[in-house]
Amino acid sequence: MKIALASGNLHKVSEFKALALTTHTELTIVSAKSFGGMPEVVEDQGTFVGNGLKKALALRAIVPPDFWVLADDSGLCVDYLKGLPGVESAYYAGPESDPKANLAKLVKVMAAVPEVNRGAHFVCVLILISPEGKQHIFEGQSKGHLLNEPIGGAGFGYDPLFVPEGYSLSFAQIAEAQKNTISHRARAWAKCAEFLRR
Ligand code: IMP
């Protein structure tokens, strides 16, 4: 089975390839780069499902018909901010989608917020489109809390600020293989992989 991945984010591609190895050895994941790059998509739907579907359909239009297409839309929802940055996570600090600026803005916005109010969760919605055009949706979440300052050099995005439940290290301090056992993306992928197995 061949799956084209609707993402230009190299970290996400790497995580999905590793996840696929843990669940599906018969699966080949090919990034959008192999098809000339991920088409430009304006993420204006206001929901993870809506934005994910837009990405999936944009890639579906340019990949060979025998490929499945998988799109991911994800984000960090902070309780104190009533779910923000959420679906706007990639553009929190502005339309140029600068991960460092996004992280810095969140650190600043949360600076005076005490530990008890620093709960947050990552969300990942996966949209899978079959060669026949059928759409399937899977969701995964990872709960945790935010640190006061970013720490750790692994991962991407908000990883250095997020400590998953039951851990004392940030997502950016643990190995990708470890993150891949508890992340929102891993949990959504587990559901998707189960569907593909069936
Ligand atoms: P998307 O690529 O439009 O789905 O944007 C997702 C944004 O959410 C990314 O740019 C990151 O800022 C954030 N994000 C999603 N998943 C993760 C993760 O696993 N770690 C850190 N940040 C993430």
Q: Which of 44, 66, 72, 73 is catalytic?
A: 73
For residue 70, list its beta bridge partners: 5, 128
Q: Does 178 have pLDDT greater than 80?
A: yes
Query: How many C-beta atoms surround the C-beta of residue 111 within 10 A?
Result: 9
Q: Give me the mean pLDDT over the 15-22 stretch.
A: 88
What is the identity of the amino acid at 101? A
Report the atom number in ligand 1 closest to the C-alpha of 48: 4
Question: What confidence category does residue 89 fall into, taking pLDDT thresholds of 50, 70 and 90?
Answer: very high
How confident is the prediction for the chain on average, in pLDDT? Answer: 95
Q: Choose between 76 and 180: higher pLDDT.
A: 76
Output the residue whose Cα is nearest ligand 1's atom 8. Answer: 75
Domain range for 161 is 2-197
**Ligand 1 interacting residues, C-beta cut-off 6 A:** 9, 43, 72-76, 89-90, 99, 102, 122, 155-159, 171, 183, 185
The token pair at 168 is: 């004392």
How many structural domains does the chain have? Answer: 1
Residue 64: per-residue pLDDT: 95
The radius of gyration computed from the CA coordinates of the chain, to the nearest angstrom, equals 17
The mean pLDDT value for 49-58 works out to 97
Give the per-residue pLDDT at 138. Answer: 98
Q: Quick one: average pLDDT of 20-33?
A: 85
CATH number at residue 6: 3.90.950.10
In angstroms, what is the span from residue 66 Cα to ligand 1's centroid?
Answer: 29
Could you tell me the distance, in angstroms and rounded to a whole number, from the CA of residue 185 to the centre of ligand 1? 10
pLDDT band of 25, cuts 50, 70, 90: low
Contacts of 135 (CB under 8 A, 6+ apart): 53, 56, 127, 128, 129
User: For residue 159, how far is its CA from the centre of ligand 1 (angstroms)?
Assistant: 9
Catalytic, 159? Answer no
Q: Average pLDDT, stretch 18-43?
A: 89
